[in-house]
Chains A and B, each alone.
Chain A
Amino acid sequence: MLDISAWFNDLLADNLIFTPTTLGYYWEGLVTTTQLVFLSLVAGLILAVPLAIMRSSKHKWISLPVYLYTYVFRGTPLLIQLYIIYYGVVFIDGIQETFLWPVLKEAFYPALIAFTLNTAAYTTEIFRGAIKATSKGEIEAARAYGMSQNLMMRRIILPSAFRRALPAYGNEVIFMLHASAIASVVTLMDLTGAARFVYARFYAPFDAFLFVAAIYLCLTFAILYFFRFLEKKLLAHLRPQNS
Chain B
Amino acid sequence: MKKLLTVSLLGLAVAAASSAHARDYDNVRIGVDVPYEPMEYRTAEGELTGFDIDLGNALCERIGVTCEWVEQEWDGIIPGLMSRNYDAIMSSMTINDERRQQVLFSDPYITMPSAWFAPSSLDISEANEETLAGKTIGVQRGTLQDNYVTDNFSSVADISRYSTADDMVLDMEAQRLDIVFLDFPIGQSTLLDSEEAEYVVVGERISEPKEYFGEGFGIAFRQRDEALAEQFNEALAELQEDGTYDEIYARYFGEE
- Measured CB to CB, the residues of A under 8 A from B are 87, 90, 96, 101, 105-107, 185, 187, 189, 193, 196-197, 199-201, 203, 205-206, 210, 213
Which residues does chain A contribute within 8 Å of B162, judged by CB atoms? 187
Known: A187-B160, A187-B161. A196 touches B174 (CB 8 A): no
Shortest beta-carbon distance, A239 to chain B, in Å?
A: 35
A107 contacts which of B74, B146, B160 (Cβ < 8 Å)? B160
Q: Is there an interface contact between A201 and B142, defined as CB atoms closer than 8 Å?
A: yes
Q: Is there an interface contact between A107 and B176, defined as CB atoms closer than 8 Å?
A: yes
Shortest beta-carbon distance, B134 to chain A, in Å?
A: 13
Q: Is there an interface contact between B160 and A196, defined as CB atoms closer than 8 Å?
A: no
State how many residues of chain B have any CB contact under 8 Å with chain A.
22
Which residues does chain A contribute within 8 Å of B66, judged by CB atoms? none
* Closest A-B pairs by Cβ, 7 of them: A200-B142, A90-B174, A187-B160, A200-B141, A105-B176, A200-B75, A96-B175
Known: A96-B175, A187-B161. A203 touches B79 (CB 8 A): yes
Shortest beta-carbon distance, B79 to chain A, in Å?
A: 7
A105 contacts which of B2, B102, B147, B175 (Cβ < 8 Å)? B175
Q: Mark B138-172, 1 if CB is under 8 A from A, else 0.
A: 00011000110010000000001111000000110
Q: Is there an interface contact between B161 and A197, defined as CB atoms closer than 8 Å?
A: yes
Known: A87-B170, A187-B162, A213-B1. A196 touches B75 (CB 8 A): yes
Shortest beta-carbon distance, B167 to chain A, in Å?
A: 8
Bound-state Cα–Cα, A74 to B123, Å: 46
Which residues does chain B contribute within 8 Å of A90, judged by CB atoms? 170, 173-174, 176
Residue of A at shortest CB range from B99?
A: A203
**Interface flag for B78 (CB, 8 Å):** yes
Bound-state Cα–Cα, A150 to B19, Å: 71
Bound-state Cα–Cα, A171 to B171, Å: 34
Told that A187-B171, A200-B142 touch, could you supply 6 new A-B pairs with CB distance under 8 A?
A: A187-B160, A187-B161, A197-B161, A200-B74, A203-B102, A213-B1
A201 contacts which of B79, B147, B173, B174 (Cβ < 8 Å)? B147
Shortest beta-carbon distance, A4 to chain B, in Å?
A: 24
Q: Mark B1-39, 1 if CB is under 8 A from A, else 0.
A: 110000000000000000000000000000000000000
Which residues does chain A contribute within 8 Å of B75, judged by CB atoms? 196, 199-200
Residue of B at shortest CB range from A90?
A: B174
Bound-state Cα–Cα, A201 to B212, Å: 13
Bound-state Cα–Cα, A87 to B176, Å: 11
Shortest beta-carbon distance, A188 to chain B, in Å?
A: 9
Bound-state Cα–Cα, A199 to B73, Å: 13
Shortest beta-carbon distance, A192 to chain B, in Å?
A: 12
Bound-state Cα–Cα, A2 to B141, Å: 39
Which residues does chain B contribute within 8 Å of A105, judged by CB atoms? 174-176
Bound-state Cα–Cα, A64 to B141, Å: 44
Residue of B at shortest CB range from A199?
A: B75
Residue of A at shortest CB range from B78?
A: A203
Residue of B at shortest CB range from A214?
A: B1
Bound-state Cα–Cα, A203 to B161, Å: 16
Shortest beta-carbon distance, B129 to chain A, in Å?
A: 18
Give chain B interface residues in 90-130, CB to chain A under 8 Å: 102
Bound-state Cα–Cα, A199 to B142, Å: 8
Which residues does chain A contribute within 8 Å of B176, judged by CB atoms? 90, 105-107
Residue of A at shortest CB range from B101?
A: A203
Shortest beta-carbon distance, A16 to chain B, in Å?
A: 12
Residue of A at shortest CB range from B75?
A: A200
Which residues does chain A contribute within 8 Å of B102, judged by CB atoms? 203
Name which of A107, A200, A206 has the most chain B CB atoms within 10 A of its CB. Answer: A200
Residue of B at shortest CB range from A189?
A: B161
Which residues does chain B contribute within 8 Å of A201, judged by CB atoms? 142, 146-147, 150
Which residues does chain B contribute within 8 Å of A200, judged by CB atoms? 74-75, 141-142, 146
Q: Is there an interface contact between B141 and A197, defined as CB atoms closer than 8 Å?
A: yes
Shortest beta-carbon distance, B12 to chain A, in Å?
A: 16
Bound-state Cα–Cα, A26 to B96, Å: 27
Q: Is there an interface contact between A205 and B160, defined as CB atoms closer than 8 Å?
A: no
Which residues does chain B contribute within 8 Å of A106, judged by CB atoms? 176
Which residues does chain A contribute within 8 Å of B1, judged by CB atoms? 210, 213
Q: Is there an interface contact between A205 and B79, defined as CB atoms closer than 8 Å?
A: yes
Shortest beta-carbon distance, A59 to chain B, in Å?
A: 41
Shortest beta-carbon distance, B37 to chain A, in Å?
A: 19
Shortest beta-carbon distance, B114 to chain A, in Å?
A: 17
Residue of A at shortest CB range from B98?
A: A203
Known: A87-B170, A96-B175, A210-B2. A196 touches B78 (CB 8 A): no
